[in-house]
Amino acid sequence: SSGITQSTGENMAKLQRNVDIVKSRLRRPLTLSEKIVYGHLEEPETADIVRGESYLRLRPDRVAMQDATAQMAMLQFISSGLPKVAVPSTIHCDHLIEAQLGGEKD
Protein backbone atom coordinates (compact mmCIF):
# COMPACT_ATOMS: atom_id res chain seq x y z
CA SER A 1 0.00 0.00 0.00
CA SER A 2 1.11 3.56 -0.62
CA GLY A 3 2.34 5.87 2.13
CA ILE A 4 -0.60 8.18 1.46
CA THR A 5 -3.17 5.43 1.95
CA GLN A 6 -1.48 4.18 5.10
CA SER A 7 -1.18 7.69 6.50
CA THR A 8 -4.84 8.42 5.70
CA GLY A 9 -5.93 5.17 7.32
CA GLU A 10 -3.88 5.89 10.44
CA ASN A 11 -5.28 9.41 10.59
CA MET A 12 -8.87 8.20 10.28
CA ALA A 13 -8.27 5.66 13.05
CA LYS A 14 -6.93 8.42 15.31
CA LEU A 15 -9.93 10.65 14.57
CA GLN A 16 -12.32 7.80 15.39
CA ARG A 17 -10.44 6.96 18.59
CA ASN A 18 -10.64 10.62 19.69
CA VAL A 19 -14.38 10.75 18.94
CA ASP A 20 -14.96 7.51 20.88
CA ILE A 21 -13.07 8.88 23.89
CA VAL A 22 -15.02 12.17 23.95
CA LYS A 23 -18.35 10.42 23.39
CA SER A 24 -17.60 8.16 26.35
CA ARG A 25 -16.62 11.12 28.51
CA LEU A 26 -19.73 13.16 27.62
CA ARG A 27 -22.05 10.10 27.81
CA ARG A 28 -24.17 11.25 24.88
CA PRO A 29 -24.21 11.07 21.07
CA LEU A 30 -22.16 13.71 19.25
CA THR A 31 -23.28 15.96 16.42
CA LEU A 32 -21.37 15.87 13.14
CA SER A 33 -19.73 19.20 14.02
CA GLU A 34 -18.65 17.86 17.40
CA LYS A 35 -17.19 14.74 15.78
CA ILE A 36 -15.16 16.89 13.38
CA VAL A 37 -13.87 19.21 16.12
CA TYR A 38 -13.37 16.65 18.90
CA GLY A 39 -11.72 14.24 16.47
CA HIS A 40 -8.86 16.72 16.26
CA LEU A 41 -8.37 17.25 20.00
CA GLU A 42 -4.75 17.10 21.09
CA GLU A 43 -5.46 15.18 24.30
CA PRO A 44 -9.04 13.84 24.25
CA GLU A 45 -8.60 11.89 27.50
CA THR A 46 -7.91 15.01 29.59
CA ALA A 47 -9.03 18.02 27.53
CA ASP A 48 -11.47 20.42 29.18
CA ILE A 49 -14.58 20.15 26.96
CA VAL A 50 -17.24 22.44 28.38
CA ARG A 51 -19.32 23.87 25.53
CA GLY A 52 -19.03 27.66 25.30
CA GLU A 53 -16.30 27.83 27.95
CA SER A 54 -13.31 25.67 27.05
CA TYR A 55 -10.45 26.60 24.78
CA LEU A 56 -9.66 23.52 22.72
CA ARG A 57 -6.16 22.46 21.71
CA LEU A 58 -6.67 21.08 18.21
CA ARG A 59 -4.34 19.31 15.78
CA PRO A 60 -5.85 19.81 12.31
CA ASP A 61 -4.73 17.49 9.51
CA ARG A 62 -5.33 20.12 6.81
CA VAL A 63 -5.89 23.87 6.64
CA ALA A 64 -8.24 25.20 3.95
CA MET A 65 -8.28 28.96 3.43
CA GLN A 66 -10.28 31.25 1.18
CA ASP A 67 -9.74 34.35 -0.94
CA ALA A 68 -7.79 37.44 0.14
CA THR A 69 -7.36 36.44 3.80
CA ALA A 70 -5.77 33.18 2.69
CA GLN A 71 -3.37 34.98 0.38
CA MET A 72 -2.38 37.33 3.22
CA ALA A 73 -1.86 34.37 5.56
CA MET A 74 0.39 32.67 3.00
CA LEU A 75 2.38 35.87 2.44
CA GLN A 76 2.91 36.15 6.19
CA PHE A 77 4.03 32.52 6.31
CA ILE A 78 6.45 33.05 3.44
CA SER A 79 7.95 36.07 5.22
CA SER A 80 8.42 34.00 8.41
CA GLY A 81 11.32 32.12 6.83
CA LEU A 82 10.06 28.69 7.91
CA PRO A 83 10.99 25.95 5.43
CA LYS A 84 7.55 24.27 5.29
CA VAL A 85 4.04 24.32 6.76
CA ALA A 86 3.10 22.04 9.65
CA VAL A 87 0.07 20.59 7.81
CA PRO A 88 -1.03 20.60 4.16
CA SER A 89 -2.65 23.91 3.20
CA THR A 90 -4.90 24.90 0.32
CA ILE A 91 -6.23 28.24 -0.89
CA HIS A 92 -9.59 28.52 -2.63
CA CYS A 93 -10.02 31.76 -4.61
CA ASP A 94 -13.50 31.85 -6.09
CA HIS A 95 -13.58 35.64 -6.49
CA LEU A 96 -10.89 35.62 -9.16
CA ILE A 97 -13.32 34.26 -11.74
CA GLU A 98 -14.53 36.85 -14.24
CA ALA A 99 -18.24 36.85 -15.04
CA GLN A 100 -19.29 35.62 -18.46
CA LEU A 101 -21.29 38.78 -19.07
CA GLY A 102 -20.51 42.13 -17.49
CA GLY A 103 -16.99 41.32 -16.32
CA GLU A 104 -16.13 45.03 -16.25
CA LYS A 105 -18.43 45.43 -13.22
CA ASP A 106 -16.91 42.55 -11.26
102 Ramachandran zone, left/alpha/beta (phi>0; psi -120 to 50): left
What are the C-alpha distances in Å from 90 to residues 3, 66, 85? 20, 8, 11
At 16-46, the pLDDT tens digits run 999 999 999 999 999 999 999 999 999 999 9
| Count, residues in the chain | 106
19: how many CB neighbours lie within 10 A of its CB? 20
At 66-82, the pLDDT tens digits run 888 888 898 999 999 99
